[in-house]
Every structure is written in C-alpha cells, then in structure tokens.
Amino acid sequence: HKHMLGTYGMSAEEITSILDRAAYWEQSPAKLSNHLQGRFVANMFFENSTRTRFSFEVAEKRLGAEVLNFTAGVSSVQKGESIYDTVKTLESMGVEAGVIRLKPNGVLAELADKIKIPLINAGDGNNEHPTQALLDLYTMRKHFGELRGLNVSIIGDILHSRVARSNLWALQAVGAKVSFCAPAAMQAPELAAHAPYISMDEAIRSDVVMMLRVQLERHAEADGMLQTTEEYREAFGLTMQREATMASHAIIMHPAPVNRNVEIDDELVECARSKIFEQMGNGVPIRMAVIERALA
C-alpha cells in the first residue's frame, strides 16, 4: 500500500526522495507528461480548500492522469452516505488513487485500512496535512540548501493546526529544530513533549518564521478566542515592527489562507523575505511526486 496518511514516522530518506523527485518535476521543461496516462485519480474534499485541491489537480493533469473531482456539497453525502461508502463507490468505478480531505480526526486511518486504493491525506481535522509539510520543507531546502540544523518557529494556533503537526514530524525527521509559540488557549498539550513553547521575541529570531492562520471556524464560541483579533495581532502577530528585528537571512512562511492584519501584517504577505506565494507554487511539483509515489 502506498497511502500517505501523515509525516509521522516517515524517514529522512523517504522525505528526501520526495523532495528530490519534486525538484526533478520543477526543473522539467515540459508542462505535460504522459507518466500517468490512462490512470484515474479522484480528489475527494469533504472540507473546503483552494490551494490543496487545485494544486493536486494541476499536479495530476501535468502527469497526464484522468482527474475526477468529488465535492461533498453536491454529492450523495447530502443524502447521508458515509465517507466509507463514498470512497468505496469511487474505488468500484476504477479510480486508482484518492486524495482526501476530512473534517474529523481519527477517521482516515480506519478508512485506509478498509480501502484498497492508495489514499493521500489532504488534511484531516487537526491531525496531519503531510503534503503541506513536504512543500514547506521543499521551500526551506530551496532557500537554505540544507534542512539539518535549521531553526524553525511555528507561531499561532498550534492546537488546531494539522500543518504544525505535519511540519513538526517532518522537520525533526530531517534534523531541523522546531519551536512553537502560541497563546495558552492555542497550545497543544500533547505536543509539549516534542517541541518547546518559546516567547514571541525568541520565535522571531529563528531562520524560519512560520505563521499559522487563526482558525476562527475551529474556535467554538464556548472556548472563545479570549482575545480580539487586534489583541491577538499585538501579542502574536508578525507586525512590521517585529519583522524589522528578524535576522537578515530569515524567511517568512504561512500555509495560507492568510488573515491579513491578524497573524501577519498586510505589507508583509508579499515582502521580499516572504515565501507565501512560492509555497503555493511548490505545492505542484511536491504533489506530482506524491501522486507518482502512490501509483508506482
């Protein structure tokens, strides 16, 4: 089975081979190849997406695959059909691999056990988003040349972030050093044993300053933001003032979508050291490498 459910447990060699294959595809002059000609791949998004969904579609089309896009909102999920029955339905039609994004935690592993085709996790709850982490590592490696020894600070809503978790496991596997920075209400207690929580002043001195979106939709009214967005920006936002104190070689990352002027100032989103739109572009070759691996 060639599932990709997470970066947890992936070896440095596995990660490096995906990054190297992505570099091959990025450098390939041809926009289209016939590598996966006649192979059917389904993108199954049970939760909203712009970047992940479209970069998987571009990646699949560049590889010459036949692409089916399933969107829960216009499917029989609306009649109560389960995720398992939906995926089994596509499998029965000859789909050979599925890219899947799910709202709940803990459903994907069980699903992957029961489904014969390889599944690629495009984000499941706050558990993992492995292809996001791989494209983030790819972006860092392109900039710095080497991942080992790099200091990466992940700042913001760690509690609800599958991006933080996938980056933590992948970065540690390749020898980078990860730190978190978050207000108390957004810290994930189970991750404290894996990476230290540091102050904002310390976090912005890292080689990589990775900002996370405040996931307003995942904060139930009961748990509350505890802060207004302006208070959040003051305490944990990457403001112009803070950016001025970053090391000259340091870069800014964010998986996007961005809440401008909440976790990052509007002026910084496209500043010289920001990799935010480059990250999105790097999603295509990374996902080409991941789809190819699934169907190998």
Whose Cβ is closer to ligand CP: residue 196's or residue 257's?
257
Distance in Å, CB of 257 to ligand CP, minimum: 6
Whose Cβ is closer to ligand CP: residue 94's or residue 281's?
281
Distance in Å, CB of 248 to ligand CP, minimum: 27
Residues at the annotated binding site? 51-52, 79, 101, 129, 132, 162, 213, 256-257
Q: How far apart are CA 210 and CA 154, in angstroms?
A: 5
Q: How far apart are CA 169 and CA 56, in angstroms?
A: 22
Distance in Å, CB of 218 to ligand CP, minimum: 12
Q: Which amino acid is at 245?
A: T
CA dihedral 71, 74, 78, 83 (to 10 degrees): -20
Q: How far apart are CA 267 and CA 180, in angstroms?
A: 24
Whose Cβ is closer to ligand CP: residue 128's or residue 243's?
128
Whose Cβ is closer to ligand CP: residue 250's or residue 256's?
256
DSSP 282: H
Please report which helix (H) or strand (E) contains residue 188, including its range: none
Cβ neighbors of 26 (< 8 A, separation 6 or more) are 282, 285
Do the beta carbons of residue 130 and residue 170 sit within 8 Å?
A: yes
Q: How far apart are CA 167 and CA 210, in angstroms?
A: 10
Structure tokens at 121: 């996790």
Closest CA to 28 of 284, 277, 291, 280: 284
Distance in Å, CB of 51 to ligand CP, minimum: 4
Distance in Å, CB of 280 to ligand CP, minimum: 8
Distance in Å, CB of 148 to ligand CP, minimum: 25
Whose Cβ is closer to ligand CP: residue 150's or residue 210's?
210
Residues at the annotated binding site for carbamoyl phosphate? 51-52, 101, 129, 132, 256-257
Strand partners, 4: 120
Q: How far apart are CA 172 and CA 110, in angstroms?
A: 26
Do the beta carbons of residue 146 and residue 260 sit within 8 Å?
A: no
Whose Cβ is closer to ligand CP: residue 48's or residue 92's?
48
Q: Which residue has the CB atom at the shortest distance from ligand CP?
A: 52
Residues at the annotated binding site for L-aspartate? 79, 162, 213
Residues in the site for ligand CP, rule: CB under 6 A?
49-53, 123, 132, 255-257
